[in-house]
Chains A and B, each alone.
Chain A
Amino acid sequence: MAKNTLSSRFRKLDIDEFDENKFIDDHDEAVDNQGPDGTEIENLIRIGDTMTAFHLALRNPPLNTKNPAVKERALAIVLRVLTSFKSSDIEPAVKSLDRSGVDLLMKYIYRGFEKPSDNSSAILLQWHEKAFAVGGLGSIVRVLTARKTV
């Protein structure tokens, strides 16, 4: 009981703040990608060319930027493309990607899971199943450990 009455203010002190060698995460703001082009993709979806829209949407991912607006915009465009796909077209689309493309797609899928809307979850789960078949557990691990998120 004697210990309880002593001041415990020291517990609120973050000792690593005073360490001069502490780890400072340097995220270099390298040449930044502004995300895919919305209008062009809208046109492609309207005429039914979802495959080209898909490839276009996965180009220029805004990985390096710290600006959340850019990331939100890119996410919205990619989700628009993903939800406009028919179930039977998903598998060939996934197969047309290379290894880093599958990793990027998996990142977008998990970002899409974060905010479920009425019709997005079902189609995203189908995309997830097909991407998992190609990428395996490794691609999911890379979503979790990636320091540059989309």
Chain B
Amino acid sequence: MAYHSFLLEPISCHSWNKDRTQIALCPNNHDVHIYKKDGTKWTKIHELKEHNGQVTGIDWAPESNRIVTCGTDRNAYVWSLKGEVWKPTLVILRINRAARCVSWSPKENKFAVGSGSRLISICYFEQENDWWVCKHIKKPIRSTVLSLDWHPNNVLLAAGSCDFKCRVFSAYIKEVEEKPGPTVWGSKMPFGEVLFESGPSGVSGGAGEGAGGGWVHGVCFSHSGNRLAWTSHDSTVAIAEGGKTSTISSLSSETLPLLCVSFITENSLVAAGHDCYPVLFVYDGTKGSVTFGGKLDVPKQTSQRGISARERFQNLDRRATSSETTEQGLESLHKNSISQISVLEGGKSKCSTFCTTGMDGGMVTWDVKSLESDLKDLKIV
């Protein structure tokens, strides 16, 4: 588990290139910095300066090697590498509030941008005009779209938003692709159609009360696209399985809200958030239940030394307890909230490494195999 501290400021967002040798991240300002890995050191090789506002989303397309960035200046840019320099192309999103998240589709012929203007912009390249064009999905989104994830069929898009709901939309663009075949989420998929909506209207039960809940911070489709997981601000994590029954199973956790989530196998997911450490959840498809799998963090090497009487009274004075731990800070690797999680190796079906970045400006790469061996009772099914 390697912890690398990039900066002192929070990392707003990050994205890796195809072979995981370069990372593009935003150091909480208007730029995007690209770092290259040299053994264990990271060197900055590019600075992408074009945005006029904080960059809120970055996505690096692995096959076509293009980077799309979006920011609070209501713009998105598609960057292409020309020789040694990244050249931007402006994309007009036609939004009047900040853009919050961006994601390339699996085939990389379009991308989706979620924004504070309560809509999702689906952008595709129009060959005749040599220009990126966008279409809007507006209804029935009632508030900011916080997170997006594409289904593997390149048409369906899951969106989590601040109106407390997680939805699956169809983003079918007839100019760039053929009609998709039916999936478990539905068979009729015109552009903008809502195929699934979580929330009090139309939920068939779950473990928690789930009435209304909180802002949906993170969404993720499983590798097959049949399962959808989302985390919400009322400290719950929920999984829905597409299909006629469309059941939702949710777990009200005892931790602070989780900000990001990703499937690592078809049955397990890793989520992280304000508690500064990633957590494993296991989904049982037959029972339809989500259970807490374990806290994923390097166990702290506590040195067992006796505590002197003076220290005991000092602790009583300062912290009202005379406990043995003189640890002033957090025991986790990250020292502040984790805001983004990305799968590095293995994809979402058999992930072997994943990476987290957070508000402490640090990045940690986690190795699933060594986590399984270090932490007993941890089983990744």
Segment of B10-18, B247-255, B313-321, B343-351 in the binding face: B247-255
Contact with B along A123-150 (1 / 0, CB 8 A): 0000000000001111101100111100
Chain A residues whose CB sits within 8 angstroms of the CB of B256 once the complex forms: 137-138, 141
Which residues of chain B (17-40) have a CB below 8 Å from chain A? none
A28 to B201, CA, bound (A): 10
A83 to B214, CA, bound (A): 31
Question: Considering only CB atoms, which chain B residue lies closest to A104 in the complex?
Answer: B209
Q: List 13 A-B contacts (CB under 8 A).
A: A23-B142, A23-B143, A23-B163, A28-B200, A103-B252, A136-B255, A137-B235, A138-B254, A138-B256, A139-B252, A141-B256, A145-B234, A148-B212
Question: Considering only CB atoms, which chain B residue lies closest to A141 in the complex?
Answer: B235
A44 to B22, CA, bound (A): 68
Chain A residues whose CB sits within 8 angstroms of the CB of B209 once the complex forms: 100, 103
Q: Which of B200, B208, B213, B252 has the most CB of A within 10 A?
A: B252
A136 to B256, CA, bound (A): 9
Contact with B along A98-132 (1 / 0, CB 8 A): 01100100000000000000000000000000000
Q: What 9 A-B pairs have minimum CB-CB distances, sorted nearest first?
A: A136-B254, A138-B235, A147-B212, A145-B214, A145-B234, A138-B254, A141-B235, A23-B142, A138-B253
Distance of B332 from chain A, by nearest CB (Å): 15
Give the interface size bracket for B toward A. Answer: 20 to 34
Q: Which residues in B have some Cβ–Cβ distance to A below 8 Å?
A: 118, 138, 142-143, 163-164, 200, 207-209, 211-214, 233-236, 252-257
Contact residues of B: prevailing secondary structure:
loop
Question: What is the count of residue pairs linking A and B with beta-carbon distances less than 8 angstroms?
Answer: 53
Distance of A149 from chain B, by nearest CB (Å): 11
**Extra pairs beyond A136-B255, A142-B235 (9, CB < 8 Å):** A23-B142, A63-B211, A100-B208, A103-B252, A139-B254, A141-B233, A141-B257, A145-B213, A145-B233
Question: Considering only CB atoms, which chain B residue lies closest to A21 in the complex?
Answer: B118
A52 to B300, CA, bound (A): 44
A63 to B200, CA, bound (A): 14
Q: Which residues in A have some Cβ–Cβ distance to B below 8 Å?
A: 21, 23, 28, 63, 99-100, 103, 135-139, 141-142, 145-148
Question: Considering only CB atoms, which chain A residue lies closest to B214 in the complex?
Answer: A145
Q: Which of A135, A137, A139 has the most CB of B within 10 A?
A: A137
Cβ-defined contact, B234 with A142, below 8 A: yes
A100 to B200, CA, bound (A): 16
Cβ-defined contact, B257 with A99, below 8 A: no
Distance of A132 from chain B, by nearest CB (Å): 9
Cβ-defined contact, B212 with A137, below 8 A: no
Cβ-defined contact, B211 with A148, below 8 A: yes
Chain A residues whose CB sits within 8 angstroms of the CB of B142 once the complex forms: 23
Question: Considering only CB atoms, which chain A residue lies closest to B201 in the complex?
Answer: A28
Distance of A144 from chain B, by nearest CB (Å): 8
Cβ-defined contact, A99 with B208, below 8 A: yes
Chain B residues whose CB sits within 8 angstroms of the CB of A103 once the complex forms: 209, 252
Chain A residues whose CB sits within 8 angstroms of the CB of B164 once the complex forms: 147
Known: A23-B143, A145-B233. A138 touches B252 (CB 8 A): yes
A139 to B318, CA, bound (A): 28
Question: Considering only CB atoms, which chain A residue lies closest to B251 in the complex?
Answer: A99
Chain A residues whose CB sits within 8 angstroms of the CB of B235 once the complex forms: 137-138, 141-142
Chain B residues whose CB sits within 8 angstroms of the CB of A137 once the complex forms: 235, 254-256
A148 to B200, CA, bound (A): 12
Chain B residues whose CB sits within 8 angstroms of the CB of A139 once the complex forms: 252, 254
A74 to B263, CA, bound (A): 43
